A and B are shown apart, each in its own frame.
Chain A
Amino acid sequence: MVGLGETQARAVTPEVSYRELIYGAAVRAYEDAGVSHHDVDAFIASSEDFLEGTSIFDEYVPDQLGAALKPCFTTTADGIFSLINAVMLIKTGAADLVVVEAHSKASEVVDLAGVEKLGLDPNWVRPLDIATDTIAGLEARRYLHDRESDDEPLARVAVKNRNAALLNPLAAYGSRLRIEDARESDPVAPPLREHYVAQPADYASVLVIAERQKALQLAGDRAVEIKGVGFNSGSPNLDSRRLGECDAAAAAAKSAFRLAALNPGDVRFAEVDDTYSHRELMHLEALGLSGDAAAELKSGMFGFGGDLPVNVSGGALGFGRLYEAQGLARVGEVVKQLRGEAGRRQLDGKVALAHAWRGIPTETHAVAIFEGGEAP
């Protein structure tokens, strides 16, 4: 990874179109990598039609990236899937320098909950007329029930991430939230409350990824190595899987650790999906980073001074819910940390993991493991 360009996550961005948002991230990424768009072999974007309000949205990608008349395609998935595609393309030998893009213009979606509902099976689930947050609530209830816990761990996740976001100038929802405030916020789908659910934000991220030798030439020890990647999907049918478990996240992590020749114990900090509070805990356990996430959270293990800081970027709860761009916000934080460019949030440690989940009703996960160069 030789270049990173991001825009600030914000609840609304009325002054720019999605094209201008992406352009802003692209010019920063190319500047950061010291490359021109002419040098790039291939471009990979990430989007879903219904969130864009445009069918075949991959049509509208090339111009703002400088990708016109170049090899360019879209992954209809989180940006980490596009990053994995970039890794694959480079490993085939067909490309040396690849650009990855993802963005969220959630503020322009008139009915986000309505769009999410269209992701439910049209024949079997949609007629029940349930919201995706309701399904997440069932999942959270199952998770807490299995552990004989009340909702305090969910509040702790929200408090940790919202407070962390205060130190991140790109995060949209930093706040000095207290546990009691979180536990008294409005119910969404019990046990989920307002503060346990990430709020949407607009954001764009562009990454520049290079073949190893080229990366070292371009970025020297600012290059961050992608050590391993993995992705996996569980059944999309709610009736075919046990709520509260995510085996697919475990499988994705297993592939990534195998490629990286590393173990979960080597990871010094992590950025994992926390679209809903309980999901951060579920994911940490599935990824092999925690045995009992609620207890370890309470012990302070996942905080700034802990053994395994998690989501110091603020996560989705503090940074904003970014849909297909959410994973790249996690990756962006890892890159800044491993380069020693995270300012007041700076952590130690050279190996980190980023994870993305595609939201209800999916059980689709992507994982990437990174290692930094020598400290600058």
Chain B
Amino acid sequence: MIIKRKVAVVGAGMTKFMRRAKETPKELAFQATRQALDSCNLQRKDIEAVTMGTAPDAFDGVHMKGEYLLDGSGGTNKPYMRVYVGGGTGVFAPIHGWMQVASGLSDTCLVVCEEKMSVTQPHPQAAFNSIYDNFIERQLGVNLVWIFGLEMHRYMKRYGLKKEDIARVSVKNKNNALDHPCAQFKQKVTLDEVLDSEVLAWPVQRMDISPPSDGAVALVLASEEKAKRITDDPVWIDGVGWNLDSSFWTNRDLYYPKYVEYAARMAYKMAGIDNPRKQIDFAEPYDPFNYKELHHTEGLLLAKKGEAPQMVKDGVRERDGDQPTCPSGGLLGVGNPIAAAGLMKCAEMFWQLRGEAGKRQVKNHPTTAVAQAWGDLMQVGTVVVMRR
């Protein structure tokens, strides 16, 4: 595998993540797009192609939601495409943007992810019932909290974990988010508060979960030659990987996300990483639930199987730790507008690697980072490695 063209990230923008935005989905996409273009002094005319990422149409009740979001994302009269891997979309959209540029079809590509969940009344969780198999599962009235409860239980059982081993992730991420100007969750949290929060579907409690949100994020990608003209400080997309497992989630052992490992191995191979535990300075693993961050750091080969909780306890994952995870505050703290949340993780890598993360800045000038998202029926992993 020889990748023919290098692709850089040269700009990023994001809206505040919030429970209920007054803006329309198009307007949210516009705000993030405008910011991303302003951040690198580009105009819409400088952009050759646009990639859109947004999760279920059911949130907005708009058929062909990608087409609807087209003008808000700067896609009018341009090559524009929406790609989709459920919750993994936010990290897959920049992979598609990378494809647009690395293939040579475009020299600049805007990647926009938007989600407006608050339109679904009374709660967006109801829309998720429609993701289940229409013959054998949907009739059970299941939602995501229940099935992720099964996965969380399996993970805890396999390694004999206690709730506090998992709850520490919520404390770390929600407190990290206090330093993020776009964060939805702005409240200092203690371990006891997480452990005492309302039980939703055991072992899942309210503070184990990220909040549903409205928001949008955008990145500007450019080819090597273009990037050098746009900025002195590009961040390179050095590895991409994605992997989708079978739809039959009930037929696999939920203790370990093998598809995340395969996606990570694909990205690491492309980036020339053979010892991720040593070569990656910080990570933004997908954390819609606290146990997922642990699951995913193992899938990303940043921890041995079953050892991720101990590393959180030992402080390895703190912002000033040996290998921080979710210095942004993650989905648990910043918020979880599905596709936009994944792209927020990529934007965080961009800001951190450029040393522009302000109070969130990871120390010692990080040079290599990985972001990952996950989704579908506990089924897909998407991974991007960036280097300064």
A199 within 8 A of B: no
With a CB–CB cut-off of 8 A, which chain A residues contact B76? 233-235
B219 within 8 A of A: no
A54 touches B130 (CB 8 A): yes
B248 touches A87 (CB 8 A): no
Chain B stretch 102-130: residues in CB contact (< 8 A) with chain A: 102-105, 127-128, 130
B213 within 8 A of A: no
> Shortest Cβ distance from B41 into chain A, in angstroms?
25
B77's partner among A63, A88, A234 (CB-CB below 8 A) is A234
B71 touches A235 (CB 8 A): yes
A62 touches B56 (CB 8 A): no
B247 within 8 A of A: yes
A59 touches B86 (CB 8 A): yes
Given contacts A54-B131, A73-B83, contact A63 B62 (CB under 8 A): no
> Shortest Cβ distance from B75 into chain A, in angstroms?
6
B79 within 8 A of A: yes
With a CB–CB cut-off of 8 A, which chain A residues contact B96? 73, 85
With a CB–CB cut-off of 8 A, which chain A residues contact B67? 119, 233, 236, 358, 361-362, 364
* CA–CA, A229 and B79, complex, Å: 11
What range describes how many residues of B lie at the interface? Answer: 35 or more
Residue of chain B at shortest CB distance from A44: B83
The interface bits of chain A over 248-273 (1 if a CB of B lies within 8 angstroms of the residue's CB, else 0) are 10011001000100000000000000
Chain A stretch 37-78: residues in CB contact (< 8 A) with chain B: 43, 48-51, 53-56, 58-63, 67-77
B80 within 8 A of A: yes
A118's partner among B61, B240, B259 (CB-CB below 8 A) is B61
B131 touches A94 (CB 8 A): no
B258 within 8 A of A: yes
With a CB–CB cut-off of 8 A, which chain A residues contact B100? 88
B184 within 8 A of A: no
B270's partner among A81, A85, A94, A362 (CB-CB below 8 A) is A94
Residue of chain B at shortest CB distance from A252: B79
A237 touches B66 (CB 8 A): no
Given contacts A119-B62, A122-B62, A248-B77, contact A71 B71 (CB under 8 A): no
With a CB–CB cut-off of 8 A, which chain A residues contact B322? none
A230 touches B68 (CB 8 A): no
B103 touches A92 (CB 8 A): yes
Given contacts A76-B64, A87-B103, contact A59 B379 (CB under 8 A): yes
B45 within 8 A of A: no
Residue of chain B at shortest CB distance from A230: B79
* CA–CA, A252 and B77, complex, Å: 10
Chain B stretch 37-81: residues in CB contact (< 8 A) with chain A: 55-58, 60-68, 70-71, 75-81
Chain A stretch 98-150: residues in CB contact (< 8 A) with chain B: 115-119, 121-123
With a CB–CB cut-off of 8 A, which chain A residues contact B303? none
With a CB–CB cut-off of 8 A, which chain B residues contact A55? 56-58, 127-128, 130-131
> Shortest Cβ distance from A109 into chain B, in angstroms?
11
Question: Which of B1-9, B292-300, B311-319, B340-348 binds A?
Answer: B1-9
* CA–CA, A336 and B245, complex, Å: 33
Given contacts A54-B134, A91-B103, A91-B105, contact A48 B64 (CB under 8 A): yes
* CA–CA, A81 and B64, complex, Å: 14
B147 within 8 A of A: no
Given contacts A53-B134, A233-B78, contact A62 B64 (CB under 8 A): no
Residue of chain A at shortest CB distance from B48: A255
With a CB–CB cut-off of 8 A, which chain B residues contact A94? 1, 3, 102, 240, 270
Most buried by B among A55, A60, A121: A55
A232's partner among B56, B78, B262 (CB-CB below 8 A) is B78
Given contacts A49-B56, A247-B77, A248-B77, contact A92 B82 (CB under 8 A): no
> Shortest Cβ distance from B13 into chain A, in angstroms?
22
A89 within 8 A of B: yes
> Shortest Cβ distance from B45 into chain A, in angstroms?
14
A58 touches B70 (CB 8 A): no
With a CB–CB cut-off of 8 A, which chain A residues contact B57? 48-50, 55
A302 within 8 A of B: no
B24 within 8 A of A: yes
* CA–CA, A51 and B245, complex, Å: 23
A232 touches B82 (CB 8 A): no
B259 touches A69 (CB 8 A): yes
Given contacts A50-B63, A55-B58, contact A63 B248 (CB under 8 A): yes
* CA–CA, A74 and B82, complex, Å: 9
* CA–CA, A361 and B63, complex, Å: 11
Residue of chain B at shortest CB distance from A233: B80
A93 within 8 A of B: yes
* CA–CA, A119 and B86, complex, Å: 20
A69 touches B262 (CB 8 A): yes
* CA–CA, A361 and B240, complex, Å: 34
With a CB–CB cut-off of 8 A, which chain B residues contact A48? 57, 63-64
B58 touches A122 (CB 8 A): no
Most buried by A among B80, B244, B259: B244
A71 touches B62 (CB 8 A): no
B64's partner among A251, A252, A362 (CB-CB below 8 A) is A362
A58's partner among B84, B98, B263 (CB-CB below 8 A) is B84
Q: List 10 A-B contacts (CB under 8 A).
A: A53-B130, A55-B128, A56-B376, A71-B242, A76-B64, A88-B99, A92-B102, A122-B61, A233-B80, A235-B71
The 8 closest A-B pairs by CB, nearest first: A91-B103, A118-B63, A88-B103, A72-B244, A55-B56, A92-B102, A56-B86, A119-B63
Interface residues in chain B, defined as those with a beta carbon under 8 Å from any beta carbon in chain A: 1-5, 24, 55-58, 60-68, 70-71, 75-87, 92, 96, 98-100, 102-105, 127-128, 130-131, 133-134, 240-248, 258-259, 262-263, 266, 270, 375-377, 379-380
Interface residues in chain A, defined as those with a beta carbon under 8 Å from any beta carbon in chain B: 43, 48-51, 53-56, 58-63, 67-77, 81, 84-85, 87-89, 91-94, 115-119, 121-123, 229-237, 240, 247-248, 251-252, 255, 259, 358, 361-362, 364
Q: A234-B77, A252-B79 are in contact. List 9 more A-B contacts (CB 8 A).
A: A63-B246, A73-B96, A89-B103, A92-B98, A230-B79, A231-B80, A251-B77, A259-B105, A358-B64
